Structures are given as C-alpha cells and as structure tokens.
Amino acid sequence: MQFLQHLPRYLFFTGKGGVGKTSIACATALRLSEQGRRVLLVSTDPASNVGQVFGVTIGNRITPMTAASPNLHALEIDPQAAARAYRDRIVGPVRGVLPEAVVKGIEEQLSGACTTEIAAFDEFTALLTDTELTAGYDHIVFDTAPTGHTLRLLQLPGAWSGFLEASKGDASCLGPLAGLEKQRKQYKAAVQALADPQRTRLVLVARAQHATLLEVARTHEELDAVGLSQQYLVINGVLPSSETVQDDLAAAIFAREQSVLAAIPGQLQALPCDKIALKPFNLVGLDALRNLLDDAVSTTDAGSIGMPAALQAPGLSSLVDDIAADGHGLIMFMGKGGVGKTTLAAALAVELARRGLPVHLSTSDPAAHLAETLEGSVENLTVSRIDPREETGRYRKQVLDTKGASLDEDARALLAEDLRSPCTEEIAVFQAFSRVIRDADSKFVVMDTAPTGHTLLLLDATGAYHREIARQAGGSGMPGLTPLMRLQDPRQTRVVIVTLAEPTPVLEAHALQEELRRAGIEPWAWIVNNCVASSAPHSMLLRQRAHNELREITAIATRYAGRMAIVPLLRHEPTGVSRLLELFQP
C-alpha cells in the first residue's frame, strides 16, 4: 500500500459516508501499533463507530486499546458536545452584560453547522500543536479530516468583533468566528501543520463508483486550494476478478467497476492510488481489521452460508401506489453520498409521470447527473437543477448590493469575506429550494438531496430564514407558510431516507433521521438500495456479504423505519427510462 510508505506523523482519512474510511483508519492504526509504533487514533465523526469496530467503549477521552495492542490509544471527539462547550465559552461572559436581544442574536449565529465544525477543529487542534499532550505517540491517525471550507474559515480575517457589534453581518458563519481571536495563533499553527507534507498526509477514500469519485475529486480540489497538497487516493471495496466465475451478477459488477476505474477524473489521476479488494466480512473486530489491508480474500463455501430462499421484503412498488394516490406533493430523497439518491429520485419521478401525473424532478446535488440517468425527455416530467455555485453567487450579489451598499470599504470587504463561508451556500441553496417546492401545490415535486436537518434549524427555527423573507418582502410582515412548515406537514411532504445495508451507512441514516426529527420532520420511509441479499448471488464472497446484510435489514425494519422498501443490487446501472421503470417490477 503506497499510502502506508514513509509515513509522516499525522495521517488523515476523509471521504463520504459508507466508503470505508473509518475501517481503513482503524486498520492502519492497528497495523502501525503492531509494528511497534505508538499510535493515537482519533475520530471526529459525529456518528463515530470506532468503538464498535474495536468492540470497546471509547468516548471523549484518550483510551488505551490494550486488547488490540499495548501501543494503541483511541479518542472519539464528540462534535456536538464540543459545540455546546464552545457556545458556552462565547455566550457565558456576555450574559447579563449585553442586552438580551444581542445575546439571542449571538446564540442564533452559533446554532449552525459551522459552529460544530469549528468546535470539533478546536478540540483536535491541540493534538496538532501541543507537543506535550502528544509527546508519547509516533503517529496520530485521524478518521475524518477537516474539510476545505472549515480550513478556509480559520484563515478568514480576525477583525470580527466590531463588525458583529455594529450588526453589519448577515446569517452566516460570523458568529462562530467571533470566538476565534484568542486562539488564532494556535489555529494558524494547526493549519500550517496540516499543510506541511513532512508532517501530514491526507488519504482520500472512495469506492469504484462514478458519483463517489466525482465527490472525491471536488474534495481534492477544495483541500489542495487551502494548501493540503500531500494527498493519496484509496479506492475501497473493489470486487476481485476471481468472484466472476459462474456468477453473471458478479461478472457484470466487475465489468462496471473496471469501466469506472478506467475513467477516473483527471484531477485524481496524478495522485498515488491504492485499491483495496472487497471483503466478505463486516469490518468489526481485530481479525477483520488485520485482514482488511491484505490482498488475500478468504471466503466460506457458498453452500454452507445460511440464506433465505427469497428475501421477503417490499419493493419500490409498495411505496409508489401510496404516493400516487395523493395526486400532488413534495417527495424528498435524503441520505449520504453514494447511496443512490439520484437514481431512486429519478425512478420515482419517471414512474409517476408514466401514470400520467405531472412531475417536477429537481436536484441540489453538485454530483447529480439527471440527464445521464434519464437519457432523454419523458412526457409529464419537468427536470431542473439547483446549481449551488450559481445560487451562491446570486445571493452574495444580492447581499452586497443591499446590506453592503451603505458600508464603508473595510466593512464591505469583511462582509464579502464572510459571504465566502459554507453557510452562505446553505442559505442560497435553501432559497432556491424554497422556490422549487411551491410547485408541489399543483403537481409532484421530487427532490434529490434536500437540505439537512441542521440547515433547516439554522435557517428557520432560529428565525434567520424568516428575517430574510421579511427583508425581501420589504418589511411587509412574516410569510404565512414557510418552507420548514411545509416540510413538517406529512400531508404535504414525504421524506424518504436512502441507505445501504451496511453498518456505517445505516448508522449515518439513523443519525440523519434524528437530526430531521429535531427539526420537526418525521421521515415517511426508508429505502435499502443495492441490496445483495435480494439479488440471489452465487459468488461465495457476495453470498457472505448478503448474509451480513440481514442483520442491518432487520434493524431498519424493527427499530428505525415505519415503512421500508428494498432495491436489489443490479447487473447494470439503472440509467435510461426503461431500466428505471424496471425498479418497480416485483
């Protein structure tokens, strides 16, 4: 493995949910510790399952992993707890000193995703800069590296205090930045450590899927733009050619993956690249971690694997009849990257249109390629795309032309800097999304990749979105029905969570469901996509994976989902209208 050669002290693994970055980070930390190196494994994932992988309870403290290796310690940073402590540290000193309205305004500024990201960064900054704290370790392995926009936030100018006090800011990331001034020197040192190839290596983890590799390419560019140029690419879960013998399904999957690997995005082709073979086992326990990075694949005799003759689970057709009966409404597909939201959203839209119902299919996913998925026009179907870059540019111009018009040159420059924050994009996309969903009063609107729960809370529950609407209306009063109110109404909106039958995607889907519930939105159904257990495989490796899926499917059916549907792993990518419609066949 190239990414394990000549390792610097800090090693970061990043990637979308379900690609295997936690497993690879854990396997790397274990291997290094068993080679005699002293290793600290750190997770900053809100849904961290490092403890589950090792079979121990870790939590927000450095824990010796003696059962695994005397040289290994682990720490799970809790971003939500870090965000609460961060908010208390900023708001506490001004309670009873500043007017209550000002304090509430600060709390609103600190309620979003940016605060959580910065607070988590605050927690592990010490691991990069405090030499006494980490003196006993040869390597520190991070599961989930900071994103490019988080690093960008930490590089913004530090003169925010007067800007905030004069109410010159807008609904964005200024609030979180207000607490950074005292630690700016430490953050600067941390960013420098991350950008130093002699100290830090960043590993981008992906799967052999077109959409996943496009997302990794964007991450590569984002991180490279802020100076993190020491990057390696690991493509996880590649089906071995040996599994294609006498199994048409495995042969088709192998051919599909090889085609994707032959067309890796250009910006990734120059990176050192390793491929890790798909394994038949769930990556839990020490034996699994020790075998993950090896090429050899050990499988059980296929005949000895207990599998039901046919997986008794409802298909997509069980959901579409209930949806079609309403005649109109908003259907939102949510889930982490790489689980197949775009395909399933397109399939539902095509099926509803085939029934003669008017449908508007839209996406806010930068990686979504609806035109390629549909391969042509469909009667009764309108297709649109919310371009985050275009919408963000439009929103920035609007704010600078209105709120920035009366500012002096320095204040306007600060406002322009702030408007380059990630929260600005969330607000801009949410505004565009709000325009699209108005169609749901007269037709079906099928949305691929909706705003997450924390965005909804930031923009609506805290009042930021209401104020924005009121400003656009010229102060003529609050709107009677806001987008969040529509999403909270099950008579108007059905939220569908998409996942894979694997431990990490299911954990993350459950976390998403809880986040939505905090915003007052109850998911309507879950869809388990690319299910091997319902595909009747003959390959020994695929049969073992199918057997492992049954536990996750049972958990979804009995603990998480009020209703669910399963889509089998297919021989061919479901692109084009005819193949999309095949997904609804029993």
Q: Which residues are catalytic?
A: 18, 20-23, 45, 504
* Residue 10 identity (one-letter amino acid): Y
- Is the separation of the CB atoms in 241 and 277 below 8 Å? no
The 3-class secondary structure across 36-79, one letter per residue, is: CCCEEEEECCCCCCHHHHHCCCCCCCCEECCCCCCCEEEEECCH
Task: Report the Cα–Cα distance between both ends of the chain, in Å, rounded.
Answer: 43
Residue with tokens 């990069």: 128
Measured CA to CA, the distance from residue 121 to residue 186 in angstroms comes to 11
Strands 63-64 and 72-76: antiparallel
> By C-alpha distance, which of 209, 222, 342 is closest to 265?
209
Measured CA to CA, the distance from residue 311 to residue 309 in angstroms comes to 7
Measured CA to CA, the distance from residue 559 to residue 72 in angstroms comes to 34
Measured CA to CA, the distance from residue 460 to residue 448 in angstroms comes to 21
Spell out the residues 6+ positions from residue 276 whose beta carbon is closer than 8 angstroms to its own: 20, 24, 234, 235, 236, 237, 238, 292, 293
> By C-alpha distance, which of 179, 82, 186 is closest to 127?
186
Strands 139-143 and 200-207: unpaired
DSSP secondary structure, 244-287, as one string: GTT-HHHHHHHHHHHHHHTT--GGGTTS-EEEEE--SS-S-SHH
Q: Which two tokens stand for residue 263?
A: 């067309």
Residue with tokens 């939500």: 80
